[in-house]
Amino acid sequence: MNKRHPITAFYIEALILIMVFVGIILLLTQIFGAGRMLSSDADRLTRAVGLAQNAAEAVAASEDLSDLEEQLDEGNIGTSADPSGVSAWYDREGSPQKEGVFRVQTTWEPEEKGGGTLARSHITVWYGEEEEPVYELDTAVYRKGGSE
């Protein structure tokens, strides 16, 4: 009977050690999974900021709404324009693509000021079918002596 106690204690200690290792493995799996999701969100936000910056540069280089549409229609991907702005689509890498996952919507609101035109723009970047935008940016450009 004395010989069975040390063996039973060994089995109990081994079982406890195995449960601790399994618990640590499960915890690390959850941590790495959460890290991957955060990394994916950060990558999406970084790409959205870059696309918004590009759209802001297009606004700065444009004289009017039709010029903005030409600036955003890289490679003739076919942007869609309405009287208030332009929408363009991009793939995951930020290249123009008609069926892309990113949609950049840029408004154009001209206002006569001081002998020129101040065009305000609100840039919104959407990802996929999400209801909330990934990133938003407000910018404006002033053109002396312009009509729109």
The pLDDT value recorded for residue 115 is 83
The pLDDT value recorded for residue 48 is 93
The pLDDT value recorded for residue 106 is 92
Q: Where are the domains of the chain?
A: 4-144
The pLDDT value recorded for residue 148 is 45
- One digit per residue, the tens of pLDDT, for the chain of length 148 reads 455 677 888 899 999 999 999 999 999 999 999 999 899 889 999 999 999 999 999 989 888 888 888 888 776 666 777 777 888 888 888 778 878 889 899 998 888 888 888 889 999 999 988 889 999 999 998 888 744 4
120 strand-pairing partners: 109, 140
- Look-up: residue for tokens 């938003």? 136
HSE at residue 58, side-chain half, CA atoms within 13 A, is: 28
The pLDDT value recorded for residue 72 is 81
Distance CA 14, CA 22 (A): 12
Q: Which residues, other chains included, contact 93 with Cβ-Cβ below 8 Å and sequence gap of 6+?
A: 47
The pLDDT value recorded for residue 100 is 83
The pLDDT value recorded for residue 70 is 81
The pLDDT value recorded for residue 97 is 80
